Structure 1
Amino acid sequence: MRRWVAAFAIFALFLAGCGRAPASGSEGANAPAPKEQVLRLPLMDEPPELDAQKTTDAVSIDILNAVQEGLVRIGPDGKPRPGVAERWEVSPDGTVYTFYLRKDAKWSNGDPVTAQDFLAGWKRVLAPETASEYSFLLTDYIVGAQDYSNYQRYLMLKEQAEKSPADYRKAYGDRTPAEVVYGEKMDAVPEVTFDAVGVKAKDDRTLEITLLKPIPYIYELLAFPTYFPFHERFYAEHREKYASEASELLYNGPFVLSEWVHGSKVVLAKNPNYWDRDSVSLDRVTFDVLKDVNTAVRLYEGGQIDRVVLSGDLAPKYRQRDDYHVFVEYFTYFLMFNFEKPPFQNEKVRKALAYAVDRKAYAETVLQNGSPPAYGLVPESEPAWAGADTTFRDWSKKMFGGPLFQDVGENPALKEEAKKLLEEGLRESGIPFEKFRFVLLHDDNETTRKAAEFLKASWKQNLGIDVELKQVTFKDRLARMRQGDFEVAYTRWGADYNDPETWLGLFETGAAFNWGKYTNPAYDRALAVARSAGTDLGKRTDAYAEAEKILIRDDMGVAPLDHRAVAYLQKPYVQGLFMRATGASMELKWAKVVR
């Protein structure tokens, strides 16, 4: 979700994922190292999906970033560093990238990592049977990728129509496979092979990528798991259990997954086959699944773990300590409404629920960690574009005269307005006010439980309605949302790359992570204008801001709650443990324990 999170990366018992800064110490610390270096961290949930071509959640993305590697790796300064590619060249127009792979890049079984391994991974992402929700990270940017993906989907539907006509008709009615994929009947669909995609292996160690247009955040995409290499032979031998156990996956990153006790523990060990192993100081990283913050804090204070994120009620207690830190993320928490479940198709109902929550009180009483209230989707500190000297939020406020909406905390008069909107919306939906109940889906960690309880109390106090809270595991929530099995969900998203598109592309009609099925042609048109603006960054940002205004102020298609910050304790002997703005939220490669 992109990271449902989307996106929720928790190497530190919470939801880290954004901002770029060292967690403590520096990359170049040169104090003497202990004989064996072990970093001990809590993990709120075990990784739901360690298949790089399929994963979407931030817990898995963080683990994959440690055990696998793409063409480049994002360094502590936010700039690309060589990964499997030792160097690269870029064409003058910024659309053709040629990567030269290093000879010593190896899989954990000793096989070389080749250009063909990257092509195999990308071909798999585009294959409809993979059902990769991140396939748009290729189809939106690489020449020919969308055409190839469409053709492969057409072939899959054609086969289904021939072999299982009843199932096909149930899903697609009388439409032909061509109509489903291309929007029109076609006597003959032209064949599109993978050769038409703008990715070419010139030889085992030379890889060329041709983009549709210059992409300022291309290196962040290439460092993302969707673009990781893929060992076809290993997959063929382990297909049924692939990526489900430590032994069912190959590794080419700084670490390998040496132990995975489901629901309890994940252990990483230094990868002896990693090309840059001399830069990796840690011998092991242990993650214990700890969903209770108080338990984690006791373990931290007892010297059994090295880092812990604090819940809102604990943060004030530790603010004056030297090991207390705050990190502002590019993470937004929001309510997602299911537009296929009455009455959430009704704009008035959605606005009533959004207005009735006092976000400042929520941030101050539940979070208590510096997280700012959210009145838009794009976070407060995210730039209008990569390298901009103004934030997207400031740009939006200038365009529209302030925040996109208010709530009962900012404007107490909205309490009556919200209740009136709810009554009208329910009446228009044919639902008596006194019979209106809905279920709020949320995760089973402590902070999320408290947030859900705050929302329930707010809606009872300000709207007079009762809400059922449905607490499930992180993995189960993602599965339910994918299947549309929810009414309203408390969820989040973290930036995959440093651009407004990573937020606003989420809710385009038919988008992979648009699980609530929001749709508005005006929103889609605004996105199209932004995407076609080219190097006119002002026009581009205006269009993205207009899209966000439609989504939030006009429609309340989702209801933003907060832009998350993280308060945490970290032992002073932990150095070089860097948190990142986009993609994986934490970088372990350069971490070390200096006692």
Structure 2
Amino acid sequence: MARLRRTSSASARRQGGSPAEAGSRRSPGHRGRAPCPAAAGWTGSGFESPRRAATPGGARRLRLARPARAGARSGKPGGAWPGQRLARRRAGRRGAGLATMPWRPRLRGEEAPYTRAKAARPDGLRPQRMKAANAAIMRTAAACSSVMRSSSPRCHATPAPSGRGDPLPLANHAGLRDVQPGGGASRQPRDPDPAVPAAGGRDARPFRPVPPMLTDPPPMRSAPILLAALALASLWGCSGRRGAPGPEGRIFRYALQSPPTQLDPARVEDGDTIDLLMQVFEGLVQWSPANEIAPNLAERWEVSPDGTVYTFHLKPGVKFHNGREATAQDVAWSLTRSLRPETKSPTAMTYLNDIVGSRELNEGKAQELRGVRVVDDRTLQITIDKRKPYFLGKLTYPTAYVVCPEAVEAAGGELNEKAMVGTGPFRLADYQPGYRVSLAANPDYHGGRPLLDGIERPILADSSTRQTTYESGGTDLTDVQRADLERIQADPSLKGELRQFPRAAIWYLALNQDAFAPFRDRRVRQAFAHAIDKDQLIRLALRGTAQRATGILPPGVPGHDPDYKGLEFDPPRARRLLAEAGFPGGRGFPRLVLSFRQGYKQIEDGALAIRSDLKQNLGIDADVRQVEWSQFLAERRNTRLMPCCHLRWAADYLDPQDFLSMMLRTGAPENHIGYSNPEFDRLCDRADVEPDRQKRLELYRKAERIAVEDAPWVCLYYQRDVELIKTYVRGLRDCLMGHLPHITTTVER
């Protein structure tokens, strides 16, 4: 399925408290400076009321009682030596009880604040325990400080200064892209088998983990535990490994906008998770920065004259993360597993349905996949039902990724974090559900060891938190909410890190004919298309960072027609069409619910702009509804649950079939809105198998115009991704589908 993503856009995704609070939260229990015990009238049971005392001049003034310690020696009134008072002051400052309450005189009969705080704590905050905990903390902190002082200068490296340049330069998609301080992009051809420098000669830089308070870990229950954890975290941040990527190495940090919906490539269908899994798993072929199909696990292939038999020759020496060499049997097993009914893949019959025998296997009528044959350990044949020029593109989707059979079987048939064993450039190092995913470089990667030592993906659903984390140095790349764009462009350092990239993606308003009866009338759908001011939507919601959509096929997808105008903004015509359909001025039109993905401000702003246009130009009232991402995907698959939604379709492969036949043909796997037009179907069926490229594209253009005029979608805008990328990030690879696996990416902090 297509990558309904970074919208993007967000998860925001991909939650308690405001974003500002999330971005600046301090450690639990620290809420300001605790009152000094000596000044606050500390006694063994709490605070003592002030008492009057005579001044030398006879006037009376307010004086605090001397501090007294519980169990004090009779020979020492007050019982607190200066060192003990200092220890108590430190303990109070670190604790959650005293630090939360400013001092005031205690009323008669009132329980002491310290007693209340003590009773509320699991351990009673006994002074002895506090003293022991503080001593342990100080020993740990001293050890950390010693390590930091004795470590190499790299532990104190600072990021390179941000450069200045064009605020939104377009990336060069013809090759590798280095983000330069000057704001430009340079192309550096990549050696097919690059030599990887030895780890010891790579001037490694320190890993700066995302601050825990920004990713909302489980709360600590006492100040001593919290401080010990922070001290240990500091120590971990400057020294050894704990099963995760070494913090002393080159770690690329960027947030997941929502928790992974799946760790199983056969079941994933959202772009955020696909971006994660493509680092761990691979298929036979892949996309290159030049937007072309390139070898991956298969080093070469041949296609039969009739276009139905593909013979793949696997690259020698490809190993799974467990060290076993991958074979053609593993490829066949993985394809078969994706199609088995017990796998419950929502996308297998979308991307693998062309293989002979796929339907019988998916429906449980067969045990083997007839269209896949293992010739030998390094040769595999795949037979499809008819010539389909786009078939190789489908094999780049995760349903065709190769997984490790023994790892899946050892996990009881489920591909979970224990079974994430692939052949990709990175392996799973640590997974904390709802918190973060950590990947470590695969030293035996068949394409050469990645330049990075690891990838950290904290899960930050809130867009403001992602922005705050980036600006504070917690991540190296982040999406940009359009509401922040003006502020970012006014900041010299951030402006130099701002980048814009075109994507083969379209945002649209889906009008579901199965769920909402008025949408079965073509005139109503056309009225909606003519009533929405796309230019204003782009200006207000996206701050100009998009291109108005005139058709379904985005720029970069073969068949896109830049001269086609589509259904343009025309409110008088929209009102006339709605009146002809029986709803003059919107009277009698059922109340509509417009759904959109939760967490992205620009998506919400776009939905509100659409609602405003419908009210102003058609007299139609609509409610807007934010939906959590996984729920959104589930409701979208149920054709009767979501009458109208604002969403995106991004290319899984650069072919018109992915947007037209895949999405709008009658009965197509991704046609969840009940659209059907026999002429459109006939043109798509012919184009899908046409061997001549020009004839094929012309057939698709005719089909596209039929769909645009029928308006099952209101085409809104073509997407451009806007991101902030630190100037020390180098070697990022992109194509029109998004970022590619981080084989050549590195960081130079």
- When normalised by structure 2's length, the TM-score is 0.65
Match of 1:573 among 728, 740, 748: 728
* 2:694 aligned with 1:534: no
Of 288, 292, 298, 2:458 maps to 288
1:134 and 1:358, CA in 2 relative to 1: closer, same or farther beyond 3 A?
Answer: farther
| Alignment match, 1:328 | 502
For 1:153 and 1:41, the matched residues in 2 are separated by: 37
Take 1:490 and 1:56, find their aligned partners in 2: how far apart are those partners?
18
Counterpart contact for 1:6–1:491, Cα < 8 Å: no
Q: Work out the CA distance in 1 between the residues paired with 2:177 and 2:540.
A: 25
Instruction: Decide whether aligned partners of structure 1 residues 224 and 432 sit closer, same or farther in structure 2, where only a CA change above 3 A counts.
Output: closer
Q: Which amino acid aligns with 1:516?
A: I
SS in 2 for 1:549: helix
Over the residues paired in the alignment, what is the CA RMSD in angstroms? 3.2
2:423 equivalent among 232, 247, 252: 252
Is 1:137 the counterpart of 2:351? The answer is: yes
CA distance in 2, matches of 1:324, 1:119: 43
In the aligned structure 1, how far is the partner of 2:613 from the partner of 2:718?
A: 19
Amino acid at match of 2:458: D
Larger Rg: 2
- Which position in structure 2 is the counterpart of 1:85? 298
Q: CA deviation at 1:96?
A: 4.1
Residue of structure 1 in register with 2:67 after alignment: none
- The one-letter amino acid paired with 2:426 is F
Partner amino acid, structure 2, of 1:563: Y
Residue in 2 that maps onto 1:467: 622
* Gap regions ≥5 residues in structure 1: 157-191, 385-391, 408-413
Q: 1:111 to 1:369 in 2, by over 3 A?
A: farther
Do 2:388 and 2:688's aligned partners in 1 also have CA atoms closer than 8 Å?
no
Q: 1:432 to 1:456 in 2, by over 3 A?
A: closer
Q: In the aligned structure 1, how far is the partner of 2:418 from the partner of 2:362?
A: 32
Please, which of 439, 446, 468 is the counterpart of residue 593 of structure 2?
439
Q: 1:528 to 1:215 in 2, by over 3 A?
A: closer
In the TM superposition, what is the alpha-carbon distance from 1:474 to its structure 2 partner? 1.5
SS for the counterpart of 1:135 is helix
Q: Deviations over 1:248-299 (max 9, x none)?
A: 4222211122233333322222124433342x01112112223333332222
- Please tell me whether residue 393 in structure 1 is matched to residue 561 in structure 2: yes
Q: 1:222 aligns with which of 386, 395, 398?
A: 395
Give yes or no for contact 2:477–2:723 (8 Å, CA) kept in 1.
yes
Distance in 1 (alpha carbons) for counterparts of 2:580 and 2:411: 56
Equivalent residue in structure 2 for 1:297, among 456, 459, 467: 467
Q: CA deviation at 1:51?
A: 1.7
Give the distance between the partners of 2:541 and 2:477, measured in 1 at CA.
21
Q: Residue 12 of structure 1: CA displacement? A: 12
State the AA in 2 paired with 1:133: T
1:419 to 575, 578, 585: 575
- What SS does the aligned partner of 1:577 have? coil
- State the alpha-carbon separation in 2 of the partners of residues 17 and 374 from structure 1: 21
User: Which residue of structure 1 lines up, in the alignment, with residue 447 of structure 2?
Assistant: 276
TM-superposed deviation, 1:322: 2.3
Per-residue CA deviations over 1:27-48 (Å, capped at 9, x if unaligned) read 6699955250011112211221
Q: CA deviation at 1:476?
A: 1.2
Letter in 1 for 2:297: V
Letter in 2 for 1:556: A
Q: Which whole-Å CA distance do the structure 1 matches of 2:172 and 2:257 have between them?
A: 17
CA distance in 1, matches of 2:411, 2:390: 34
Amino acid at match of 1:236: E
User: Structure 1 pair 11/338, CA: closer, same or farther in 2 (3 Å)?
Assistant: closer
Opposite residue 455 of structure 1, the aligned amino acid is: I
Aligned length: 526
Q: Which of 650, 656, 674 is equivalent to 1:494?
A: 650
Structure of greater relative contact order (alpha carbons < 8 Å, 6+ residues apart): 1
Q: Is the 8 A contact 1:6 1:56 kept in 2?
A: no
Q: Distance in 1 between matches of 2:626 and 2:13?
A: 18
From 374, 380, 405, the counterpart of 2:567: 405
Deviation at 1:579, TM superposition (A): 1.9
Deviations 1:428-449 (A, max 9, x none): 9xx9825621111111122211
Kindly report which structure 2 residues correspond to 1:75-224, keeping only aligned pairs within 5 A, or say none: 75-89=288-302, 96-129=309-342, 130-140=344-354, 142=355, 145=356, 148-152=357-361, 194=368, 196-197=370-371, 199-211=372-384, 216-224=389-397
Q: Using a 3 Å threshold, how does the CA distance of structure 1 residues 98 and 7 change in structure 2: closer, same or farther? A: farther
Task: State which drifts further: 89-98 or 203-212.
Answer: 89-98
Partner of 2:530: 355
Please list every run of 5 or more consecutive structure 2 residues that lacks an aligned counterpart in the other structure: 15-169, 180-186, 191-196, 206-248
User: 2: distance between equivalents of 1:448 and 1:362?
Assistant: 10
1:345 to 520, 528, 538: 520
The one-letter amino acid paired with 2:327 is T
Equivalent in the alignment of 2:228:
none
Contact 2:252 2:476 in 1 (8 A): yes
Identity %: 29
Residues 12/78 of structure 1: CA separation in 2 closer, same or farther (3 Å cut)? farther
2:485 aligns with 315
Offset from partner CA, 1:315-356 (integer Å, 9 cap, x none): 234347322211111010111122112222222222222221
> Would you say 1:547 and 2:703 are equivalent positions?
yes
CA distance, structure 1, for counterparts of residue 392 and residue 707 of structure 2:
29
In 1, the alpha carbon distance for the partners of 2:619 and 2:526 equals 15
Describe the SS at the equivalent of 2:645: strand
Tell me the TM-score normalised to structure 1 length. Answer: 0.80
Spell out the pairing of 1:447-458 with structure 2 (5 A cutoff).
Answer: 447-458=602-613
Query: Judging changes above 3 Å, is the alpha-carbon distance between structure 1 residues 426 and 47 closer, same or farther for their aligned structure 2 residues?
Result: farther
Distance in 2, Cα, partners of 1:204 & 1:103: 10
User: Does residue 744 of structure 2 align to residue 590 of structure 1?
Assistant: yes
